[in-house]
């Protein structure tokens, strides 16, 4: 990879891909790939993305295309912002056109259905030999587009590559830290969505502030236990990608995952909630993968289980919090249970 002004390709012109491409376009040549040719033409011609970020002007230097080969052909680094169910397919389509050995960075917060793989594992399978990394943190895209200060963690096995990529991401108000704990950063980003649904459920049911604090804190405990069981480092879960992202997703009115929980708590059926959104709530699909992963590793995750019961097994929402309160509390830090 060139150290100076690397060319960037961002795959996925949803909310987050568009915001990250807008950041990198301020530093260097950037192409945004959108799968819808009409939307790509609109972004190219109007410098706006009316479907996902209608009120924001995008940098005029940001190029947009619906041609995947054209998007990646000259890239020195690829950022992938395609939701987890579709990432493998998009990377497979791009694979023949990506230059050898360039870094591929996931911006995605989900696990692959069926395989329960992290997105950097999917990248490694589809694009072997490419250094794979993940950028994750408390990053509500809309707030970053508005210019509110935020930070994230870029995790890669090779520190020098992460350092080179910091230069295309850092701005005065977007601070990117580095890490080599790819597993921890990635698993934290996927799991926090499940717990945001849990917190939303409580909020929708009218639970109190103490309840919210209890669920967030115990969620961090569950997240850390599964995260360390699969190879993440404990300190990662106390950092931006762990606690930081858990907090924002559990409390922000902009969070799509929390929104799903709130609406379920208010009694709306899941199918109706999802049909009314034109955006992804990764936690909905990730929950089943997480509970299966927890079972495989022998990690107890009562909060995630309650979310799974509501989403995938028809459990009435009112039973959810009652179910959690029935579990006898153990030692706060060393027990196996809730």
246 lies in the site for ligand G3P, by CB under 6 A? no
Q: What is the C-alpha separation between 286 and 267, in angstroms, rounded?
A: 22
The interface region with ligand NAD, picked from 11-19, 59-67, 70-78, 170-178 by CB under 6 A, is 11-19
Specify the residue, 31 or 111, whose C-beta has the smaller distance to ligand G3P.
111
Does the annotation place 67 within a ligand binding site?
Answer: no
Residue 192 falls in the annotated catalytic set: yes
Q: How far is the CB of 36 from ligand NAD (least distance, A)?
A: 7
Contact 10, 63 (CB under 8 A): no
Does the annotation place 52 within a ligand binding site?
Answer: yes
248 lies in the site for ligand G3P, by CB under 6 A? yes
Q: What is the C-alpha separation between 23 and 2, in angstroms, rounded?
A: 19
Query: What would the DSSP string read from start to end of 28-86?
Result: S-EEEE-S-HHHHHHHHHHS-BTTTBTT-PPPTT-EEES-HHHHHHT-SEEEE-S-HHH
Q: What is the C-alpha separation between 63 and 71, in angstroms, rounded?
A: 9
* Residues of this chain, 73-112, that bind ligand NAD according to CB under 6 A: 81-84, 86, 90, 107-110
Q: What is the C-alpha separation between 65 and 51, in angstroms, rounded?
A: 15
Tokens of 132: 């794979």
48 lies in the site for ligand NAD, by CB under 6 A? no
Contact 78, 104 (CB under 8 A): yes
The interface region with ligand NAD, picked from 93-101, 213-221, 277-285, 318-326 by CB under 6 A, is 277-285
The interface region with ligand G3P, picked from 166-174, 180-188, 213-221, 253-261 by CB under 6 A, is 253-261
Residues of this chain that interact with ligand G3P (CB under 6 A) are 109, 138-140, 193, 196, 245, 248-249, 255-257
Would you please indicate which residues are annotated as catalytic (active-site) residues? 192
- Binding site listing for NADPH: 15-16, 35, 52, 109, 141, 256, 280, 282
């Amino acid at each position: 990879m060139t150290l100076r002004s690397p060319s960037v390709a961002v795959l996925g012109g949803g909310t987050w891909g568009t915001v990250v491409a807008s950041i990198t376009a301020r530093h260097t040549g950037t192409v945004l790939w959108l799968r819808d040719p009409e939307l790509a033409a609109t972004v190219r011609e109007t410098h706006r993305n009316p479907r996902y970020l209608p009120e924001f002007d995008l940098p005029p230097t940001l190029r947009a295309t619906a041609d995947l080969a054209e998007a990646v052909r000259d890239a020195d680094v690829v950022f992938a912002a395609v939701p987890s169910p579709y990432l493998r397919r998009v990377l497979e389509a791009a694979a023949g056109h990506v230059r050898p050995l360039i870094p591929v960075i996931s911006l995605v917060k989900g696990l692959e259905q069926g395989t329960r793989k992290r997105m950097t594992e999917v990248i490694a399978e589809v694009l072997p030999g490419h250094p794979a990394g993940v950028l994750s943190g408390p990053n509500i895209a809309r707030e970053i587009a508005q210019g509110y200060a935020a930070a994230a963690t870029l995790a890669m096995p090779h520190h020098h590559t992460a350092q080179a990529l910091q230069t295309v991401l850092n701005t005065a108000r977007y601070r990117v830290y580095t890490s080599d704990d790819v597993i921890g950063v990635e698993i934290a980003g996927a799991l926090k969505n499940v717990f945001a649904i849990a917190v939303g459920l409580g909020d929708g049911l009218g639970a109190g502030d103490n309840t919210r604090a209890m669920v967030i804190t115990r969620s961090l405990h569950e997240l850390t236990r599964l995260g360390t069981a699969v190879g993440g480092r404990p300190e990662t879960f106390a950092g931006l990608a762990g606690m930081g992202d858990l907090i924002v997703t559990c409390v922000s009115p902009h969070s799509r995952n929390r929104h799903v929980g709130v609406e379920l708590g208010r009694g709306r059926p899941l199918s109706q909630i999802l049909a009314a959104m034109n955006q992804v709530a990764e936690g909905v699909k990730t929950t089943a993968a997480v509970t299966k992963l927890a079972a495989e590793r022998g990690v107890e995750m009562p909060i995630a289980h309650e979310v799974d019961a509501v989403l995938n097994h028809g459990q009435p929402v009112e039973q959810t919090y009652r179910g959690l309160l029935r579990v006898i509390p153990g030692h706060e830090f060393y027990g196996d249970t809730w």
